[in-house]
Amino acid sequence: MGTYPKLAGQSAVYLLAQMKDIKGGTRANGQTAIMKPIIAGVSDDEMKAIAEWLSKQ
């Protein structure tokens, strides 16, 4: 669905930056309001691991 970004194969650096920006509120565009409560429960170490994993898919 167009609303949902494709995360597989995306750069780990980019993914981590987006997760941090959405969590911190720096990125608050589009549908990021859906993401905020979810990413609030994800730690920095977990975000890093998720970004690395997604970049290899």
Binding site for ligand HEM (CB under 6 A): 3-5, 7, 15, 18-19, 29-32, 34-35, 38, 42, 50
- Comparing CB distances to ligand HEM, the nearer of 31 and 44 is 31
- Comparing CB distances to ligand HEM, the nearer of 24 and 30 is 30
Three-class SS of residue 2? Answer: coil
Query: Helices 32-39 and 12-24 meet at what angle, rounded to 10?
Result: 90
Nearest distance from residue 30's CB to ligand HEM, in Å? Answer: 2
d(CA 36, CA 40): 6
